Amino acid sequence: MNTASAADGFDRLPVIDVRALTDAASSAAARKAVATQIGAACRESGFFYAVGHGVDAGLQARLEDLSRRFFALPLEEKLAIRMALGGRAWRGYFPVGGELTSGRPDRKEGLYLGAELGPEHPLVRAGTPLHGANLFPREPVGLRGAVLEYMAALTRLSHAIMSGIALSLELAEDYFIARYTSDPLVLFRIFNYPPGDSTAEDGHPIWGVGEHTDYGMLTLLKQDDAGGLQVKSRQGGQVRWVEAPPVPGSFVCNIGDMLDRMTRGIYRSTPHRVQNRAGRDRLSWPFFFDPGWTAAVRPIDSPALAGAAADDASERWDRQSVHAFQGTYGDYLLGKVGKVFPDLKTEVL
């Protein structure tokens, strides 16, 4: 077993071919070999690039083209589907400066999306936040279809990668689906980070998205060729921001707070941030694959996780421990989302 841990720091993110996990005909040995690489990455940095994932390149090119066409629309047209109109489902468009990470406005605009659920879905009927129908723009035609197809493909891929994470922890491959993700919470965003100065007038740096960890289980990020994603490495008392440059045909995979919690911090949800220094728009498509809303997330009992990892609440971006909180994943997520969209929280919830 690889015994690397985040305390050792890291200087690059590994590229892992996950084909054996997506191919039902692959051998147990081939699946285990991929799982071992994933386990090492989760212990070291919580980040890796997935290649060999099988998500159609044509679908991705279509999604990218349609996303660029959406952001190129006049602001009023984009505001026709602003988030305030999405109600409790928390969907729609937000303009540059509309989201706060680490307490300061991000330099990005975006479209909040998620699993498309009709009014008859039990969680929608119950008025559950973050569940419901998407707000799709009238233009460009085709964005709706591409988004729905892409979310379906990434949901399949997420189940496959989670089976590898289970194997890496010496658990049955269906460990997560049996407990947390038979009805996962699926959220998807399309971001545009416009170019601009990297320092504000008051001397503070301006981030596309400020330092944060992801809240849920697994994030699969598609990014264009602009670059600008950075991952926090810590060695002794030293912090180093490691670039996660675009790798063609890959997704950046990183684990979120819930997997950190389940593994008592041995698999790390690592802080990351974005600054667009490319001098042109940067687009990204983060897909979040999370436990069901009502799931109570519990530590995993596995010999692979022997030995306690230190709680790192004092080091985390929002000083909140992922290990101490009580309640469901939904409770945890609402607490986080309320911080990044304070006005919307008061209006909608």
Ligand X SMILES: O=C(O)CCC(=O)C(=O)O
The burial class, CB within 10 Å (0-12 / 13-18 / 19+), for 307 is: exposed
For the chain, helix (H) and strand (E) counts, in that order, are: 10, 14
How far the first Cα of the chain sits from its last, in Å, is 46
Provide the minimum distance between the beta carbon of 180 and ligand X in the complex, in angstroms, as a whole number: 20
Would you list the DSSP string of 299-327? Answer: ----GGG-SPPPP-GGGSTT---TTT--S
Residue 257 contacts Fe ion per CB under 5 A: no
Residue 268's nearest CA partner among 326, 322, 229, 330 is: 322
Q: Which does 223 bind (CB under 5 to 8 A by kind): Fe ion, ligand X, none?
A: ligand X
Query: 121 is written with which tokens?
Result: 């879905």
| Maximum alpha-carbon separation in the chain | 58
Give the separation between CA 188 and CA 158, rounded to whole angstroms: 13
Instruction: Indicate which of ligand X, Fe ion, none lies near residue 284 (CB less than 5 to 8 Å, by partner kind).
Output: ligand X
Output 214 or 224, the one with its CB closest to Fe ion: 214
- Pick one of Fe ion, ligand X, none as the site partner of residue 37 (Cβ within 5 to 8 A by kind): none
Q: How many CB atoms lie within 10 A of CB 245?
A: 15
Is the distance from CB of 159 to CB of 140 less than 8 angstroms?
A: no
Closest CB to Fe ion among residues 87, 338? 338
Q: How far is the CB of 33 from Fe ion (least distance, A)?
A: 28
Exposed / middle / buried, residue 325 (Cβ in 10 Å: 0-12, 13-18, 19+): middle
Give dist(CA 217, CA 317) in Å, integer. 18
Toward ligand X, which CB reaches closer, 70 or 175?
Answer: 70
Tell me, what DSSP letter sits at residue 177?
I
Closer residue to ligand X, CB minimum distance, 31 or 107: 107
- List the single partner that 34 binds among Fe ion, ligand X, none, CB under 5 to 8 Å by kind: none
Using the minimum distance from each CB to ligand X, give the nearer residue, 31 or 212.
Answer: 212
Question: Under the rule (CB under 6 A), what is the footprint of ligand X?
Answer: 189, 191, 209, 214, 221, 223, 229, 272, 274, 284, 286
Nearer to ligand X, 157 or 221 (CB): 221
Quick one: what does residue 274 bind among Fe ion, ligand X, none, with the CB cut-off 5 to 8 Å set by partner type?
A: ligand X
Q: Taking CB under 5 A as the rule, which mask of x and - marks residues 213-242 in contact with Fe ion?
A: -x----------------------------
CB 233 within 8 A of CB 9: yes
CB of 189 to Fe ion, least distance (A): 10
The option from ligand X, Fe ion, none interacting with 45 (CB < 5 to 8 A, set by class) reads none
User: Residues 6 or more apart from 120 whose CB is under 8 A from it?
Assistant: none
In the window 84-113, what residues touch Fe ion (CB under 5 A)?
Answer: none
Q: Which of residues 158-217 bind Fe ion (CB under 5 A)?
A: 214
Specify which residues 288 forms β-bridges with: 187, 219
- Looking at beta carbons only, is 175 or 285 nearer to ligand X? 285
Q: Nearest distance from residue 321's CB to Fe ion, in Å?
A: 19
Residue of closest CB approach to Fe ion: 214
User: How far is it, in rounded angstroms, from Cα 324 to Cα 319?
Assistant: 11
CB of 254 to ligand X, least distance (A): 8
Which C-beta is closer to Fe ion: that of 43 or that of 273?
273
Q: Distance between CA atoms of 193 and 174, rounded to whole angstroms?
A: 37
- Judged by CB, which is closer to ligand X: 34, or 221? 221
The first and second tokens of residue 189, run together, are: 């965003």
Q: Pick from ligand X, Fe ion, none: which does 229 bind, CB < 5 to 8 A by kind?
A: ligand X
Tell me how crowded residue 296 is: count the other CB atoms within 10 A of its CB.
12
Q: Please work out the total of residues on this chain that contact Fe ion, with binding judged by CB under 5 A.
A: 1
CA distance linking residue 13 with residue 42, whole number of Å: 10
* In the complex, least distance from residue 229 CB atom to ligand X, rounded to whole angstroms: 4
Q: Residues in the site for Fe ion, rule: CB under 5 A?
A: 214
